[in-house]
């Protein structure tokens, strides 16, 4: 067991867009800040949360599936901070509710930080959901840096 694990990353798959978006972030945090991390399957997420008791749960999307929402909700309930990437770049106002809440039908805020790909998405989140204003940040597409990390 890893004691004092900083970041637990839970994803649906070990390959693909989500993994390619999250991995450079995790490696950067490890190499430049010394954070420890583990990547595991979201389908065993409850076990890994209890096993590692991380400081942070990082997910490519905390609202992208029912299991994602359940895991984020549980993590928050045991004091683990949830950080989520919102992997939608083409944000339009008529779909902002679905983009923000997805499978989170209770519309409860489980994220401590929410990173948005699109500046327009951040503007719409601030406009429609002021309760998210202090946790939502525009970061750009986290998948574009998979080949090189620039200053």
Q: Residue 84 belongs to what H/E stretch?
A: strand 81-86
Greater confidence, 121 or 10? 10
Greater confidence, 16 or 11? 11
Name the one residue in this structure whose structure tokens are 């359940």: 70
Mean pLDDT of the chain: 86
CB 115 within 8 A of CB 142: yes
Residue 103 has pLDDT above 60, yes or no: yes
User: Taking the model in full, what pTM does it have?
Assistant: 0.87
Residue 24 CB partners (closer than 8 Å, separation 6+): 142, 145, 146, 149
Residue 145 has pLDDT above 60, yes or no: no
pLDDT in tens, 36-77: 999 999 999 999 999 999 999 999 889 989 999 999 999 999
Helix or strand or coil: residue 98?
A: helix
Residue 148 has pLDDT above 90, yes or no: no
- Residue 102 pLDDT grade (very low, low, confident, very high; cuts 50, 70, 90): confident
Q: How many degrees, rounded to 5, is the angle at CA 80 between CA 58 and CA 144?
A: 15
Distance of CA 50 to the CA centre of its chain: 19
């Amino acid at each position: 067991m890893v004691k004092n694990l900083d970041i637990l990353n839970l994803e649906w798959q070990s390959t693909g867009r989500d993994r390619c978006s999250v991995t450079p972030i995790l490696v950067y945090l490890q190499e430049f800040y010394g954070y420890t991390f583990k990547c595991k399957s979201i389908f065993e997420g409850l076990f890994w949360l209890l096993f590692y008791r991380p400081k942070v749960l990082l997910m490519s999307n905390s609202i992208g599936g029912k299991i994602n929402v359940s895991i984020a909700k549980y993590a928050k309930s045991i004091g683990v901070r949830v950080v989520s990437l919102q992997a939608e770049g083409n944000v339009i106002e008529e779909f902002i509710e679905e983009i923000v809440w997805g499978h989170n039908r209770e519309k409860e805020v489980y994220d401590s930080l929410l990173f948005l790909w699109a500046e327009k998405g951040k503007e719409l989140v601030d406009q429609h959901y002021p309760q998210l204003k202090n946790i939502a940040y525009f970061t750009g597409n986290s998948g574009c840096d998979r080949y090189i990390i620039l200053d």
